[in-house]
Amino acid sequence: MSEKKATRVAYGEYLAKLGHTHPELVVLDADLAGATMTQYFKKEFPDRFFDCGIAEANMVDMAAGMSNVGLLPFCSTFSVFAGRAYDQIRNGVCYPKLNVKFGFTHAGITLGEDGGSHQAIEDIAIMRALPNMTVLVPCDANETERCMDAALAIKGPVYIRLARLPSTIFEMDMPFTLGKINVLREGTDAALLCCGVMVEESMKAAELLAAQGMNVAVVNAHTLKPFDEEGVQALAKKVGHIFTVEEHNVIGGLGDAAAAAMVNLDGVKLTKLGVQDMFGQSGKPAHLLKAYKLDDQSIAEAVAKGLRG
């Protein structure tokens, strides 16, 4: 692992790069270009950038119309504001299966000081429940680009969940296959099934556990929908105990996706680590991860307790 870069920054930079090879690509933003990093695209292609103001529902309707005339719209705002445009996303984009992409940033509690009103902890649940929607959660800058390439290849709506917090760019080879989990670290005692910024915390937790003699796998679930049920089932049979780790409510997110995959398996266990059905609060990202028991130390303690108990 090496340098750090927020996935929202990687998203903005790659949008600008894609603009040169995809003349049909347009970007819409809800008055947050400096935060979502769509400002990079705006600088390169001002005539293909549309600031819709603080009007997320209008932004999605505009994108739907643009997709109907052959354009390829990317909509961006904070993840928490998905709720403001839910009806438009549902009936205006997903119902007719229009080719609109949603790059929503500042997801989860690591948004930090903006507090619980702005920390999206339910967005994955909302998007997973929508028919025709693909849901992607990249763990670093490189995987963000792979998710965006995958989104371009899909003829339909795609939600890409992005973070404000800079995260380490993994130096290891991380092959990306849409809808398939990716084993980053082999293990036999248990597995940490994670996504987004929780991948880095899980990798560090696995090191802490190794020092205690526990061999724990780390598996990246970058695609939340379509979910790799067969891959998770095989993983569960191999290790016996899966701990899901997500910067999201434990209701409706990665943990529940894994639970649905494992429900008919005998002799396996699932423990869901995440935001335990409560809102976030204002604070530094590192302090919030610790408070919600999603830092590496807390993850390692939960796994050790689960394996020894």
User: Helix/strand/coil (H, E, C) string of 86-139?
Assistant: HHHHHHHHHCCCCCCEEEEECECHHHCCCCCCCCECCHHHHHHCCCCCEEECCC
Host H or E run for residue 45: none
Pair of tokens at residue 39: 């400002």
Q: Do the strands 158-161 and 182-185 form a parallel or antiparallel pair, or are they unpaired?
A: unpaired
Pair of tokens at residue 248: 């999201």
For 273, the 3-state DSSP assignment is strand
Among 13, 24, 56, 171, the active-site one is 56
If one counts every other C-beta atom within 10 angstroms of the C-beta of residue 5, the result is: 17
- Give ∠ CA 304-237-272 in degrees, rounded to 5: 45
What gap in Å lies between CA 274 and CA 72, rounded to an integer? 34
Provide the b/e sequence for 170-192 (b: ≥16 CB within 10 Å). Answer: beeebebebbbbbebbebeebbb
19-23 contacts: CB < 8 A, separation 24 or more? Answer: 19/44, 19/45, 19/48, 20/44, 22/72, 22/152
User: Helix/strand/coil (H, E, C) string of 236-255?
Assistant: HHHHCEEEEEEEEECCCCHH
| Residue 200 a catalytic site member | no
The strand pairing partners of 185, in sequence order, are 218
Hey, which residues are catalytic here?
A: 56
